[in-house]
Amino acid sequence: AWTFLERLAVLWERFPRLALVCAAGSAEYLRRLDKLSFGRAPARRLEPLSRVETMRLIRAPAEGRLEYEYEALERIDELTGRRPYFVQLLCAEIFDQRAEAGRAGLVDIDPALEAIAQRPLPIFVRMWERASAEGKILLSLMGALRGEQAVITPAQMAVALRAEGIEAAIPDILAELDLLEEAGALEQLGATSYRPVVEIFRHWLRVQHPPAQVLARLRWNPRRKPRPAEEETPAPAPHRSWTAALLVPLMVLLVAVALMAFLRPPASSPPATPTPTPGLATLAAMLVSEANKGTPSPALLPQVTPSPTWTATPTKPLVLARPLPAIAYMSKQGKEKWQIWVMGADGSLPTALTADEGENTSPVWAPEGKRLAFVSDRDGNKEIYVMNIDGTGVRNLTNDPADDWTPAWSPDGTEIAFSSMRDGNWEIYVMWADGTYPMRLTNDAEADIAPAWSPDGKWIAFASKRDGDWDIYVMDRSGQNVKQLTNARGSDLSPAWSPDGRYIAFESNRDGNAEIYIMLANGDQQQNLTRAPGANDHWPAWSPDGTRIAFCSNRDGEWGIYVMRMDGSDVVRISPAGVNSQAPAWRP
């Protein structure tokens, strides 16, 4: 290494304009290499990647060979801490295991993680070797912790050490955690809280250094010297021997009395009201307390009186919780009626919420994610209904003889905007979330439909034919200050605001077929995202984090729900095959 640096120094002298970029675990280490004048060179600490950069690093190397499900991407993001080396390390293993299948899901992450944990990775080996004996014990216990994204505190480590028969002072543990942080094994979150520098490290520790093996060869020897007061304090004299000797006979007597009271037949005359006595657990606690004090108490003498009858408490049944659904949509098979369904973001666990004879369409989520508004003609005409996410609590909100359509929940959950024919023309209305006090917002001779609230609740985008064909407009929540955003030939429909309010996605057939477009919230920079000329794409719906857009398409011959990134890439079908599915709505 030194020979290389010396030659590099000569090269630097010959070519003074030579630019050199070096990476090291510590800038101080480079600065100590005086012959290359690192002391005068600027240094920059490399930080973890952004979420977008991490997703790009995961997908780009495997593009065309391996497709990641969304939950798998999230798991990789968590495990790697968005650090490039660990992202590539984990993704390389996943690729080796799943490239032939062409798809990697959440269930494929753990096998790859286990394979990595079996290797003597140099970066983890160095972290381990830099730790003291006490630090190694703490690291092994951290690896054994259950749960993900574990946060380490001195108190938590004290409990873990005590479970292994080690009594450790909090200041000693804190000092060792600080040393581990300096060695790069941990990162500090707060004054006394830490976590592994990367979650993969914890899984590696679990496999490579289990506590049983580490504790078999290492001992806990705290570095902190005892305080003077602790050194001068004599050990307490053993003065509790008589109470310890009494403890066992008293417990035996207590059990015997309890058995006698239980087995004794009832008297012919009504028994006297029993004097309450402490239960077994209470008396045992009192005996131990008195033994610690060193003085007897007459209150401990058991009274020979009937004990209250113990009543067993039934154990509550085990309830297995299902994960909350992520996407609501409408689906049907063949000539059946449309029904409301929900499923996971990857298409898992598709579940029907409605099963009546009417057409049930256009589901939208309440902001709290526990209810759905939808359209149904079960009562003879289109009405806005609401129900819980398990399909219960169905209630008609509009109750009007005219058709009501395209509901949209306000961000604060207090109002629902919708379109209605109750005045002889499709117009935008708003009502309280319980269906009361409907108020008309638009008043135009042409149709206005499909309202969509901005995330701050100040604006409502909608589609209107007031300019001759369908275009996207925006108005304030009172129906004033109307502005036209699109003005292309063809129909622009189904506006949907991005969660940050910067963009509006919509559908348009300006290029001859229906495609999903995106534009800035002021109407600028309109661009086609789907670009599938042989298909029709409708109903864009943003994911809660704004990185993906769900939509429906007939590109596979039947209507299905698809998901793509907000730039139109990585299109994946998530709805079941063999059925028609439309109108996706992402849970907030």
pTM of the entire predicted model: 0.49
Contact indicator for 45, 81 with CB cutoff of 8 Å: no
Structure tokens at 298: 């007459």
pLDDT, tens digit, for every residue of 508-544? Answer: 999 999 999 999 999 999 999 999 998 999 999 999 9
Q: Do domains 51-117 and 327-586 have the same CATH topology?
A: no
Structure tokens at 176: 């060792």
CA dist 48 and 541 (Å) reads 30
pLDDT at 231: 41
Average the pLDDT over 561-567 and give the result. 96
Residue whose C-alpha is closest to residue 85's, from 172, 198, 233: 198
Give domain limits for the chain.
2-40, 51-117, 122-222, 327-586
Residue 67 bridge partners (DSSP)? 103
Alpha helices by DSSP H, 267-351: 280-293
Contact indicator for 406, 449 with CB cutoff of 8 Å: yes
| Phi, psi for residue 561 in degrees, rounded to 5 | -95, 130
Given a cut of 60, whether residue 149 has pLDDT beyond it is no
Given a cut of 50, whether residue 427 has pLDDT beyond it is yes
Given a cut of 50, whether residue 228 has pLDDT beyond it is no
pLDDT at 244: 42
Q: At what angle do helices 154-163 and 170-182 cross, to 10 degrees?
A: 110
Distances (CA, A) of 83 to 94, 125, 153, 231, 262: 17, 18, 24, 47, 67
What's the pLDDT band for 41 if we cut at 50, 70, 90? low
Cβ atoms within 10 A of the Cβ of 58, count? 22
pLDDT at 472: 98
| Phi, psi for residue 480 in degrees, rounded to 5 | -100, 175
Average the pLDDT over 178-201 and give the result. 87
CA 290, chain centre distance (Å) = 49
Overall CATH class of domain 327-586: mainly beta
Radius of gyration of the chain (CA): 35
pLDDT at 322: 52
- 3-state SS, residue 115: helix
Average the pLDDT over 543-557 and give the result. 95
Contact indicator for 415, 384 with CB cutoff of 8 Å: no
Residue whose C-alpha is closest to residue 477's, from 449, 458, 463, 462: 458
The size of the chain, in residues, is 588
Domain at 51-117: CATH architecture: Orthogonal Bundle (1.10)
Residue whose C-alpha is closest to residue 496's, from 359, 374, 387, 588: 588
Percent of the chain with pLDDT over 90: 57
Domain at 122-222: CATH architecture: Orthogonal Bundle (1.10)
Contact indicator for 460, 474 with CB cutoff of 8 Å: yes
* Average pLDDT in the chain: 82
pLDDT at 146: 62
pLDDT at 37: 58
CA dist 149 and 373 (Å) reads 36
pLDDT, tens digit, for every residue of 248-290? Answer: 444 545 445 444 544 454 444 444 444 443 443 443 344 334 4
pLDDT at 89: 94
Given a cut of 80, whether residue 12 has pLDDT beyond it is no
Pairing mode of beta strands 103-104, 67-68: parallel
CA dist 505 and 507 (Å) reads 7
Average the pLDDT over 577-585 and give the result. 95
Residue whose C-alpha is closest to residue 421's, from 388, 453, 480, 375: 375
Average the pLDDT over 2-12 and give the result. 70
pLDDT at 42: 67
What's the pLDDT band for 245 if we cut at 50, 70, 90? very low
Given a cut of 80, whether residue 506 has pLDDT beyond it is yes
Average the pLDDT over 334-350 and give the result. 93
Average the pLDDT over 72-92 and give the result. 90
Contact indicator for 245, 296 with CB cutoff of 8 Å: no
pLDDT, tens digit, for every residue of 97-132? Answer: 999 999 898 889 989 999 999 999 999 999 999 999
pLDDT, tens digit, for every residue of 381-409? Answer: 999 999 999 999 999 999 999 999 999 99
Three-state SS sequence of 470-501: CEEEEEECCCCCCEECCCCCCCEEEEEECCCC
CA dist 250 and 285 (Å) reads 13
- In this structure, of 30-39, 64-73, 441-450, the range with the lowest mean pLDDT score is 30-39
